[in-house]
């Protein structure tokens, strides 16, 4: 039996026990009531079933309560232990059994709710097929996934799920990665592409070399991290413990007052029973668990409830540029031809000259030529002019690609129109390379790190949520940073930063007493991510270090997931406060009624446990809660973007990196 199967089996046994306990407690309570009603046997005989019910359903709580009391801690379990001990001591056996019964029912309901949220995540593991076809020499054999080894070549046909994390070694296809990255559209996979276990190969045949198996796969790690996060305790959860510290002595005092003023011990017992803070103790964990599960289904992993609380208080958001707001690699964004020269002709000439170059800009030119389905023949001659450009020849024509002074130094004429266009591209933060044929410049190719399509809307949506300031951080030069910042609508930017400069930016804002969240790619941004109140890594699918280091991990490259996370954080905090409000109202009303002598012990129990049911149902609703769409939020700040471009922060430093960080 695998570890996952053993864990499921253990959890099923736990659910079975939790389901049986309320049934057994109910049977014993009814037996005790029946014996007492029909006066069968002495009092001690008809009390025994009730006492057994109390022990069966409450023994674990009593043990915890005694241990907490011995350690000098006044907790919810201490409160319940004291209340039930007094109830039994005065002979109210059946009311004690009733409160244990309702607590058992509420506990089973809470456990079912939490298990349902966990099961929705654990069920992801079922996406991995039980067997895989593996190449063994010249044969294809079917083997259990559990027996796969790193380095095995797995064959995946159209319509099959990929069983392992690995790299495509042959074939091509489109893969639905929604369970891992949350991407709604299938992703094209070619030789060298990374794939994840549990994703669906929709088209094409793939050969995948296994890199990770079993519990090391990205899917298994996601499940583990979510389940681990669901067991963590949020700071706001400590309110329940602090509340109990002063609440128990207060209730004991009220119980004594009730007994002294009425002379009826049942009044004191009713006060103790109606004041049990069960609902208060589950107000936070149920809401946090539901929120974590909700976000996990959107491929957002949250390490614990503390980050819901912190994210709900964020003042400033710092966002890395390259790879976070942009695609992270240079791409051809525009081709401009001189008078009478077609764009494809300019691009084809540039591609011929750059075909054998290893420069990143050359690769972007070749990529664009491939997208345009242009035929690119080999150059007859090819020479790199370091720091300037390239020169080549084809079919008797000389081709030059590079900077303006490079072309001019070789006698090429650059028209006024192209010179103006070159300056305009520079103002927009783009790198423009001129293309010349023989002695005439025929056009230019503009290259830039392309902004992600959803970035501007996501930034606008975050502003609409009330974040005080959104600042872009980059190692790129100020001119490029200004151009990107203006297009995406951030409030400020800091350029020319090294990793330690980004960390310093976080520290400066925190020194002003403001909460800071940092969004980055988990590599150069690691120091800033670690220092920020909430560190958010974007596009971390398959990156072990990023998943382990981040407070919040976005498995996709969609900045809109940050918008979802901030919204869900606020929803969880509101639900926790609402749950606490419900529990306090139930306790307050119950205490007033009990002090006035209007509650019997049984009615007090029913009234108090009604608060528990309310809290559990309230938290359960978060499992299906939906956040507002970015398209609904973004227009709320459209007029702010008309106020003008971001000015750039006072911490802008000299450009010290050859490539954006």
Q: DSSP string of 215-246?
A: GGSHHHHHHHHHHHHHT---GGGHHHHHHHHH
Q: How far is the C-alpha of 418 from the C-alpha of 442, rounded, in Å?
A: 9
Q: What superfamily would CATH give domain 292-326+452-570?
A: HAD superfamily/HAD-like (3.40.50.1000)
The answer to whether the beta carbons of residues 207 and 171 sit under 8 Å apart is: yes
Q: Which residue has the higher pLDDT, 590 or 181?
A: 590
Q: How far is the C-alpha of 413 from the C-alpha of 649, rounded, in Å?
A: 40
Sign of the Cα pseudo-torsion (521, 524, 525, 531, in order): positive
Instruction: Reply yes or no on whether the pLDDT at 133 is more than 60.
Output: yes
Counting Cα atoms < 13 Å in the Cβ hemisphere of 141 gives 10
User: Which pLDDT score is estimated for 521?
Assistant: 78
Query: If you average pLDDT over residues 174-179, what whole number do you get?
Result: 79
Local structure of residue 379 (DSSP, 8 states) = P
Angle of CA points 264, 35, 86, to nearest 5°: 35
The answer to whether the beta carbons of residues 255 and 552 sit under 8 Å apart is: no
- Four-CA torsion 409, 388, 435, 338, nearest 10 degrees: -60
Query: If you average pLDDT over residues 279-307, what whole number do you get?
Result: 83
The CATH fold assigned to 129-214 is: 2.70.150
Q: How far is the C-alpha of 442 from the C-alpha of 105, rounded, in Å?
A: 80
The answer to whether the beta carbons of residues 483 and 428 sit under 8 Å apart is: yes
Instruction: Reply yes or no on whether the pLDDT at 221 is more than 70.
Output: yes
Instruction: Reply yes or no on whether the pLDDT at 106 is more than 90.
Output: no
Cβ contacts of 532 within 8 Å, gap of 6 or more: 318, 506, 516, 517, 518
Q: Where in the chain is the domain with CATH 3.40.50.1000?
A: 292-326+452-570
Q: Cβ–Cβ contacts within 10 Å for residue 343, how many? A: 14
Element (H, E) at 651: none
- Listed ranges 177-181, 281-285, 314-318, 617-621; the one with the highest mean pLDDT: 314-318
Q: Where in the chain is the domain with CATH 2.70.150.10?
A: 129-214
Q: How far is the C-alpha of 217 from the C-alpha of 211, rounded, in Å?
A: 9
User: Which pLDDT score is estimated for 656?
Assistant: 31
Element (H, E) at 552: strand 552-554
Q: Which residues are catalytic?
A: 320
User: Which pLDDT score is estimated for 322?
Assistant: 80
Cα–Cα distances in Å, from 381 out to 222, 390, 398? 52, 11, 9
User: Which pLDDT score is estimated for 207?
Assistant: 93
The model's pLDDT over 645-661, given as tens digits with 9 standing for 90+, comes to 565 654 444 333 333 33
User: Which pLDDT score is estimated for 651?
Assistant: 41
% the chain with pLDDT above 70: 83
The answer to whether the beta carbons of residues 431 and 447 sit under 8 Å apart is: yes
Altogether, the residues listed in the chain come to a count of 661
User: Which pLDDT score is estimated for 637?
Assistant: 55
The model's pLDDT over 231-271, given as tens digits with 9 standing for 90+, comes to 554 555 555 556 667 777 888 888 888 888 888 888 888 88
Q: Hey, what CATH class is 327-451 in?
A: alpha beta
User: Which pLDDT score is estimated for 269?
Assistant: 86
Q: Which residue has the higher pLDDT, 400 or 42?
A: 400
Query: If you average pLDDT over residues 455-478, what whole number do you get?
Result: 89
Q: Where in the chain is the domain with CATH 3.40.1110.10?
A: 327-451
Query: If you average pLDDT over residues 156-171, what whole number do you get?
Result: 92
The model's pLDDT over 358-391, given as tens digits with 9 standing for 90+, comes to 777 888 899 999 999 999 999 999 898 866 789 9
pLDDT mean across residues, the chain? 82
Would you say the pTM of this structure is higher than 0.85? no
User: Which pLDDT score is estimated for 181?
Assistant: 63
Local structure of residue 658 (DSSP, 8 states) = S
Instruction: Reply yes or no on whether the pLDDT at 126 is more than 50.
Output: yes
Counting Cα atoms < 13 Å in the Cβ hemisphere of 200 gives 13
Q: How far is the C-alpha of 577 from the C-alpha of 554, rounded, in Å?
A: 27
- Four-CA torsion 477, 483, 486, 492, nearest 10 degrees: 0
Cβ contacts of 607 within 8 Å, gap of 6 or more: 274, 586, 589, 590, 593, 599
Q: Which range, of 16-20, 128-132, 300-304, 319-323, averages the lowest pLDDT?
A: 16-20
Cβ contacts of 49 within 8 Å, gap of 6 or more: 28, 29, 31, 32, 35, 97
User: Which pLDDT score is estimated for 628?
Assistant: 86
For residue 441, the cross-strand partners are: 436
Instruction: Reply yes or no on whether the pLDDT at 438 is more than 60.
Output: yes
- Listed ranges 36-50, 200-214, 294-308; the one with the highest mean pLDDT: 200-214
The model's pLDDT over 498-556, given as tens digits with 9 standing for 90+, comes to 778 888 999 999 999 999 999 987 656 777 888 889 989 887 655 555 566 678 888 88
Q: Give the three-state DSSP class for 82.
A: helix
The answer to whether the beta carbons of residues 542 and 531 sit under 8 Å apart is: no
């Amino acid at each position: 039996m695998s570890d996952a199967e053993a864990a499921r089996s253990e959890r099923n046994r736990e659910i079975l026990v939790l389901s049986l306990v309320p049934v057994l407690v109910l049977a014993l309570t009814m037996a005790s009531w029946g014996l007492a009603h029909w006066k069968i046997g002495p009092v001690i005989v008809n009390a025994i079933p009730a006492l057994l019910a109390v022990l069966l359903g409450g023994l674990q709580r009593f043990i915890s309560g005694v241990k907490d009391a011995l350690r000098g801690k006044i907790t919810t379990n201490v409160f319940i232990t004291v209340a039930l001990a007094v109830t039994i001591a005065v002979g109210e056996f059946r009311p004690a059994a009733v409160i244990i019964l309702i607590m058992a029912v509420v506990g089973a309901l809470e456990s079912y709710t939490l298990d349902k949220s966990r099961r929705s995540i654990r069920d992801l593991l079922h996406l991995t097929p039980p067997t895989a076809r593996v190449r063994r020499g010249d044969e294809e054999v079917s083997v259990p996934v559990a027996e796969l080894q790193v380095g095995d070549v797995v064959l995946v046909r159209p319509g099959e799920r990929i069983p392992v994390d690995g790299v495509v070694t042959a074939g091509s296809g489109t893969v639905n990665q929604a369970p891992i990255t949350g991407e709604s559209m299938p992703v094209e996979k070619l030789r060298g592409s990374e794939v994840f276990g549990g994703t669906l190969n929709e088209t094409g045949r793939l050969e995948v070399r296994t890199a990770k198996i079993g519990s090391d796969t990205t899917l298994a790690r996601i499940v583990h991290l979510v389940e681990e996060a669901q067991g963590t305790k949020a700071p706001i959860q400590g309110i329940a413990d602090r509340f109990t510290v002063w609440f128990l002595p207060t209730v004991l005092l009220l119980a004594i007052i009730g007994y002294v003023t009425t002379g009826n011990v049942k009044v004191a017992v009713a006060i103790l029973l109606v004041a049990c803070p069960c609902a208060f103790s589950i107000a936070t964990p149920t809401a946090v668990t539901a929120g974590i599960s909700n976000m996990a289904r959107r491929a957002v992993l949250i390490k614990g409830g503390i980050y819901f609380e912190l994210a709900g208080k964020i003042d400033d958001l710092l966002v890395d540029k390259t790879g976070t707001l942009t695609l992270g690699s240079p791409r051809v964004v525009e081709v401009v031809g001189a008078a009478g020269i077609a764009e494809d002709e300019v691009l084809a000439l540039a591609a011929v000259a750059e075909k054998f170059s290893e420069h990143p800009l050359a690769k972007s030119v070749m990529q664009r030529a491939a997208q345009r389905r242009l035929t690119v023949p080999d150059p007859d001659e090819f020479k790199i002019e370091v720091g300037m450009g390239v020169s080549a020849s084809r079919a008797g024509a000389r081709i030059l690609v590079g900077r303006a002074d490079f072309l001019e130094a070789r006698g090429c004429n650059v028209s006024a129109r192209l010179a103006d266009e070159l300056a305009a591209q520079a103002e927009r933060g783009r790198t423009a390379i001129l293309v010349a044929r023989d002695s005439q410049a025929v056009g230019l190719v503009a290259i830039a790190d392309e902004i992600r399509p959803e970035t501007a809307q996501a930034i606008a949506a975050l502003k609409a949520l009330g974040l005080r300031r959104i600042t872009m951080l980059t190692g790129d030069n100020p001119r490029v940073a200004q151009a990107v910042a203006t297009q995406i609508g951030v409030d400020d930017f800091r350029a020319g930063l090294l990793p330690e400069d980004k960390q310093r930016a976080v520290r400066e804002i925190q020194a002003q007493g403001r909460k800071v969240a940092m969004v980055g790619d988990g590599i150069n941004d690691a120091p800033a991510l670690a220092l920020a109140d909430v560190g958010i890594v974007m596009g971390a699918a398959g990156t072990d270090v990023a998943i382990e280091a981040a407070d919040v991990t976005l498995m996709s490259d969609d900045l809109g997931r940050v918008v979802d996370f901030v919204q869900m954080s606020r929803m969880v905090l509101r639900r926790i406060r609402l749950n606490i409000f419900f529990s306090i109202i139930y306790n307050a009303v119950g205490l007033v009624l009990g002090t006035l002598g209007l509650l019997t012990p049984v009615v007090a129990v029913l009234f108090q446990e009604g608060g528990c049911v309310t809290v559990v149902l309230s938290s359960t609703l978060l499992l299906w809660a939906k956040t507002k769409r970015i398209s609904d939020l973004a227009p709320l700040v459209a007029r702010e973007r008309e106020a003008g471009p971001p000015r750039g922060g006072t911490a802008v430093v000299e450009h010290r990196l050859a490539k954006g960080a």
